[in-house]
């Protein structure tokens, strides 16, 4: 059951990640400053629909047998209704009714996506509870065996000796299993994060190489066509406008590619990446970010830099979503024995219990552990929240080679 739960949870996390991508895309679709129509998003949603369907199929194969047929069918029914509503929205958009389409997103699609995300989160919680129940059953069995052993001990000295040996061996096996489970959980977290980074890196490269090259070629072709058209002609003006749209789209794709997996990290290191990312995040999130660097800089290992960058991303997302303030402070400190990153805001702060249960915070803690660092969530005296990541220098620093 533990093995099935683990496989099922992997697919549920995949569903959750795809639903988050859907939510982000719908948020961007509601942004009226976007230069292209809603129908341009259909290809992205087709890809997400395919991945969600594949993940749901695998999840149903590994779902717990104790789920009722209604529980098994709920996600698929809700997902089918969501895509039906999405198809109706795109039909409105293709018919030129973009206002009605956006209204559909606001009134229906976002609520449906939120309900699906809640359902997936509930299933993840149920899987965790199932593991806890299994552990309780193992403990109950162990307690029953122990009572029987004590009865045996009262019978003969030989039984005492043999049973003692049995208990020692059983305890070793139990502790060995617990240690194995702990290692497997840590390994699973590492694999999930590694898979996520690999997927983001692949998508980033596809966007940059495939779409970027196509748009660059289109822009070049439009430039040549523009030079062939008569000076001052409407055709030349139209070609110039299309070329500007292609260039704007290319810039957006490059920005998205960098956000998914900043190639800058591999080319110029963490410090240059943060110099680029923080002003970009400030503009995209509507935040006023105060960035401070201190200490004698040293080169940061690429693998460690990726995790530090992701922790900063998640911390700034939390500031944008939860703090209620526009100002935030980012501090990168190159200490003698460590690298320290702080993200501070003076907003609403956090409830300690909720802060320890948040999925984003769990991900940040896992990333900190992967690079031998520690993550702290603090409440400054001035109020608000401070996220502090401390990585030992020997883990963070890039070594020659």
Q: What's the CATH number where 118 sits?
A: 1.20.120
For residues 64 and 180, which has the higher predicted lDDT (pLDDT)?
Answer: 180
Would 181 be classed as within a structural domain?
Answer: no
Tell me the two tokens of residue 152.
């045996």
For residues 62 and 380, which has the higher predicted lDDT (pLDDT)?
Answer: 380
Would 188 be classed as within a structural domain?
Answer: no
Residues 81 and 202 in one domain: no
For residues 401 and 49, which has the higher predicted lDDT (pLDDT)?
Answer: 49
Averaged pLDDT, 349-374: 74
Spatial CA neighbour of 308 closest among 398, 205, 188: 398
| Mean pLDDT of all residues belonging to the chain | 83
Summarize pLDDT for 145-199 with one digit per residue, the tens.
888 877 887 788 888 888 888 889 888 888 888 878 766 766 766 677 667 666 7
113-116 own/partner pairs: CB under 8 Å, 24+ apart: 113/19, 113/22, 113/23, 113/26, 113/82, 114/23, 115/78, 116/19, 116/75, 116/78, 116/79, 116/82
What per-residue confidence (pLDDT) applies to 76?
85
Let me know: does 291 contact 328? Beta carbons within 8 Å: no
What per-residue confidence (pLDDT) applies to 201?
66
Poorest-confidence range of 196-210, 264-278, 305-319? 196-210
Poorest-confidence range of 107-111, 215-219, 224-228, 252-256? 252-256
Q: How confident is the model at residue 350 (pLDDT cuts 50, 70, 90)?
A: low
What per-residue confidence (pLDDT) applies to 393?
93
Q: Indicate the helix (H) or strand (E) that contains 281.
A: helix 270-285
What per-residue confidence (pLDDT) applies to 389?
95
353 has a pLDDT exceeding 60: no
348 has a pLDDT exceeding 90: no
Q: How confident is the model at residue 279 (pLDDT cuts 50, 70, 90)?
A: very high
What per-residue confidence (pLDDT) applies to 336?
92
C-alpha radius of gyration, the chain, whole number: 27
For residue 127, the enclosing domain spans 2-154
Residues 25 and 98 in one domain: yes
Would 182 be classed as within a structural domain?
Answer: no
For residues 142 and 387, which has the higher predicted lDDT (pLDDT)?
Answer: 387
Residues 95 and 128 in one domain: yes
- 3-state secondary structure (DSSP) of residue 78: helix
96 has a pLDDT exceeding 80: yes
Would 327 be classed as within a structural domain?
Answer: yes
What per-residue confidence (pLDDT) applies to 58?
82
Averaged pLDDT, 122-142: 79
Residues 98 and 225 in one domain: no
362 has a pLDDT exceeding 50: yes
Residues 337 and 239 in one domain: no
Would 168 be classed as within a structural domain?
Answer: no
What per-residue confidence (pLDDT) applies to 278?
92
Number of domains in the chain: 3
What per-residue confidence (pLDDT) applies to 356?
47
Residues 246 and 278 in one domain: no
Summarize pLDDT for 317-328 with one digit per residue, the tens.
999 988 888 999
Would 97 be classed as within a structural domain?
Answer: yes
Residues 105 and 230 in one domain: no
400 has a pLDDT exceeding 60: no
pTM above 0.75, yes or no: no
Would 172 be classed as within a structural domain?
Answer: no
26 has a pLDDT exceeding 70: yes
């Amino acid at each position: 059951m533990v093995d099935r739960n683990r496989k099922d949870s992997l697919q549920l996390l995949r569903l959750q990640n795809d639903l988050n991508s859907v939510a982000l895309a719908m948020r961007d679709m509601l942004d009226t400053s976007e230069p292209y129509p809603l129908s341009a998003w259909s290809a992205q949603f087709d890809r997400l629909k395919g991945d969600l369907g594949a993940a749901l199929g695998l999840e149903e194969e590994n779902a717990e047998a104790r789920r009722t047929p209604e529980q098994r069918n709920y996600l698929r029914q809700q997902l089918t209704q969501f895509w039906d509503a999405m198809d109706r929205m795109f039909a409105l958009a293709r018919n030129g009714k973009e206002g009605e389409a956006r209204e559909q997103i606001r009134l229906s699609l976002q609520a449906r996506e939120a309900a699906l995300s809640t359902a997936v989160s509930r299933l993840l919680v149920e899987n965790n509870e199932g593991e806890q129940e299994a552990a309780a059953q193992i403990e109950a069995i162990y307690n029953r065996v122990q009572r029987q052993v004590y009865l045996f001990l009262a019978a003969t000295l030989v039984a005492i000796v043999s049973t003692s040996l049995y208990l020692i061996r059983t305890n070793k096996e139990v502790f060995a299993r617990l240690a194995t489970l702990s290692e497997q959980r840590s390994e699973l977290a590492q694999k999930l994060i590694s898979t996520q980074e690999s997927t983001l890196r692949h998508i980033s490269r596809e966007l940059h190489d495939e779409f970027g090259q196509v748009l660059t070629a289109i822009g070049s072709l439009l430039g040549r066509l523009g030079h062939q058209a008569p000076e001052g002609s409407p055709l030349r003006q139209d070609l110039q406008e299309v070329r500007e749209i292609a260039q704007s789209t290319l810039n957006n794709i490059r920005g998205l590619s960098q956000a998914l997996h900043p190639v800058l990290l591999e080319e110029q290191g963490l410090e240059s990446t943060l110099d680029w990312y923080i002003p970009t995040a400030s503009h995209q999130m509507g935040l006023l970010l105060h960035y401070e660097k201190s200490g004698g800089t040293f080169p940061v290992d690429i693998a460690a830099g990726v995790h530090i960058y992701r922790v900063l991303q998640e911390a700034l997302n939390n500031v944008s979503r939860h703090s209620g303030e526009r100002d935030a402070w980012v501090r990168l400190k190159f200490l003698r024995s460590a690298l320290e990153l702080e993200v501070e805001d003076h907003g609403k702060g956090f409830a300690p219990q909720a802060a320890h249960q948040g999925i984003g915070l769990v991900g940040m803690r896992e990333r900190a552990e992967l690079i031998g660092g520690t993550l702290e969530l603090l409440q400054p005296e001035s109020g608000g929240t401070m996220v502090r990541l401390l990585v030992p220098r020997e883990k963070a620093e890039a070594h020659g080679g």
